[in-house]
Amino acid sequence: MQLISLTSNQTSFKPVVFKNAAGLNFIVAKQNQADKVDKKKTFNGVGKSLLIAIIHFCLGSNKNESFKKHLPGWEFTLRFKIGQTEYLISRVTDGQQKIRLDGEDIKLSELTSRLGDLLFEIPADIDYLSFRSLLPFFIRPRRGSYVSFKDPNELRKDYQILMTNSFLLGLNVYLVKEKYRLRVERERIKALIKELSNDQLLKDFFSGSKDVSLATDDLTEKINRLESDLSQFDVAEDFYEIKNEADRLRRELEKTQNEIVLFQNQVQNIDESLKKTPDLKRESIERIYREASVSLSDSVTKKLEDLEAFYKHLSTSRQKRLVDQKEELNREINALVNKFQREKVQFDATLKYLDTHQALDVFVKLTNRLSDLKSEKDKLQRYDELLKQYQDQKIKLDRDFVDETGKTAAYLDVPEGVIKELRDFFRELAKHFYPDSAAGITIKNNDGDNQVRYDFDAKIQADASDGINSVKIFCYDITLLLRGAGHNVDMIFHDSRLIDGIDPRQVAVLFQVLQEYIVPSGRQYILTVNQNHLDDVRPYLTPEEYQSIILDNVCHNLEDDSPESKLLGIQVDMKYD
Pairing between β-strand 98-101 and β-strand 104-107 as defined by DSSP bridges:
antiparallel
Rounded to 10 degrees, what is the CA torsion of 89, 94, 95, 96?
Answer: 50
Query: Residue 32 belongs to what H/E stretch?
Result: none
Cα–Cα distance for residue pair 224/307, rounded to 1 Å:
90
Tell me the CB-side half-sphere exposure of residue 234, using CA atoms within 13 A.
6
For residues 474-510, one letter each, b for 16 or more C-beta atoms within 10 angstroms of the residue's C-beta and e for the rest, the string is: bbbbbbbbebbebbebbbbbbbbbbbeebbbebbbbb
Q: Across the chain, which distance is largest between two alpha carbons, in Å?
A: 189
Under 8 Å between Cβ of 575 and 67: no
Residue type, position 50, single letter = L
What pLDDT does residue 280 have?
54
Q: What is the DSSP code string of 314-333?
A: HHHHHHHHHHHHHHHHHHHH
Q: 205 vs 56, 196, 377, 393, 450, CA distance in Å?
A: 57, 10, 13, 20, 29
What pLDDT does residue 355 have?
61
Q: Which of the 8 DSSP states describes residue 100? A: E
**Residues in CB range of 324: below 8 A, 6 or more apart:** none
Give residue limits of the domains in the chain: 199-233+357-413, 235-354
Specify the 3-state DSSP secondary structure of 157: coil
Specify the 3-state DSSP secondary structure of 444: strand
CA 556, 558, 561 angle in degrees (round to 5)?
150
Q: Determine if the pTM surpasses 0.75.
A: no
Compute and round to an integer the Cα radius of gyration of the chain: 55
Residue 54 burial (CB count, 10 A): 26
**pLDDT tens per residue, range 547-570:** 999 999 999 999 988 889 899 999
What pLDDT does residue 352 have?
66
Residue in 492, 510, 484 with CA at minimum distance from that of residue 421? 484
Q: Is the dihedral of CA 105, 109, 110, 111 positive or negative?
A: positive
User: Rounded to the nearest 10 degrees, what angle do helices 504-513 and 418-433 cross at?
Assistant: 130
What pLDDT does residue 273 have?
78
Specify the 3-state DSSP secondary structure of 456: strand
Cα–Cα distance for residue pair 476/524, rounded to 1 Å:
16
What pLDDT does residue 251 have?
84
What pLDDT does residue 207 have?
46
Q: Phi first, then psi: what are they for 389, rounded to 5°? A: -65, -45
Residue in 217, 220, 227 with CA at minimum distance from that of residue 367? 227
Under 8 Å between Cβ of 266 and 329: yes
- Report the chain's terminal Cα–Cα distance, integer Å: 23
Under 8 Å between Cβ of 129 and 120: yes
Tell me the CB-side half-sphere exposure of residue 410, using CA atoms within 13 A.
7
Cα–Cα distance for residue pair 254/336, rounded to 1 Å:
12
Tell me which residues of the chain have a pLDDT lower than 50. 36-42, 205-207, 235-236, 360
What pLDDT does residue 506 have?
94
**pLDDT tens per residue, range 19-29:** 999 999 999 99
Specify the 3-state DSSP secondary structure of 525: strand
Q: Domain 235-354: which topology?
A: Helix Hairpins (1.10.287)
Cα–Cα distance for residue pair 398/404, rounded to 1 Å:
10
User: Rounded to the nearest 10 degrees, what angle do helices 173-197 and 158-169 cross at?
Assistant: 160
